[in-house]
Amino acid sequence: MDLSGEDITTHYILVRGISTVKCEYCGKTIEGLPFKCKYCGGLFCVEHHLPENHDCPGLKRGEWRVVEIPDKYAVEYRIFRPEEVEVKPIRKRPPLFYSGELRDIFLAVLAITLAYSSLFIFTGPLAFIYIIIGILVSFLVHELAHRYTAINYGYRARFTVSYQGLLLTALSAVLPVKIIAPGYVAVFGGDRSKIGAIALAGPLSNIVLSILSLILLHLRILPSFTYLLAIINADFALFNLIPLGILDGYKIFHWNKIVWLTALMAAIALWLNFKILFFL
- pLDDT tens by residue, 7-46: 544 444 444 444 478 888 888 888 777 888 877 888 888 8
Q: Are residues 108 and 75 in the same domain?
A: no
Sequential DSSP letters for the chain: ----GGGHHHHHHHTTT----B-TTT-PBPSSPPEEPTTT--EE-GGG-SGGGTT-TT--TT---EEE-SSTT----EEEPGGG---PPPPPPPPSS-TTHHHHHHHHHHHHHHHTGGGGGG--HHHHHHHHHHHHHHHHHHHHHHHHHHHHTT-EEEEEE-HHHHHHHHHGGGSSS----SEEEEEES--HHHHHHHHHHHHHHHHHHHHHHHHHHHTTSSHHHHHHHHHHHHHHHHHHTS-STTSHHHHHHHH-HHHHHHHHHHHHHHHHHHHTGGG-
Q: Are residues 184 and 45 in the same domain?
A: no
Question: 39 is in which domain, residue-wise?
Answer: 5-84
pLDDT at residue 266 in the model: 94
How many domains would you assign to the chain?
2
pLDDT at residue 267 in the model: 93
User: Sorting pLDDT into bands at 50, 70 and 90, what band is 148?
Assistant: confident
Q: Are residues 32 and 161 in the same domain?
A: no
Q: Domain with 78 in it: what CATH number?
A: 4.10.1110
Q: Are residues 179 and 46 in the same domain?
A: no
- pLDDT tens by residue, 94-129: 677 778 888 998 999 899 888 887 766 656 677 778
Q: Are residues 120 and 249 in the same domain?
A: yes
Q: Are residues 159 and 194 in the same domain?
A: yes
Does residue 92 form part of some domain?
no
Does residue 96 form part of some domain?
no
- pLDDT tens by residue, 173-225: 888 777 888 888 888 766 777 889 999 999 999 999 999 999 998 898 988 88
Q: Are residues 151 and 237 in the same domain?
A: yes
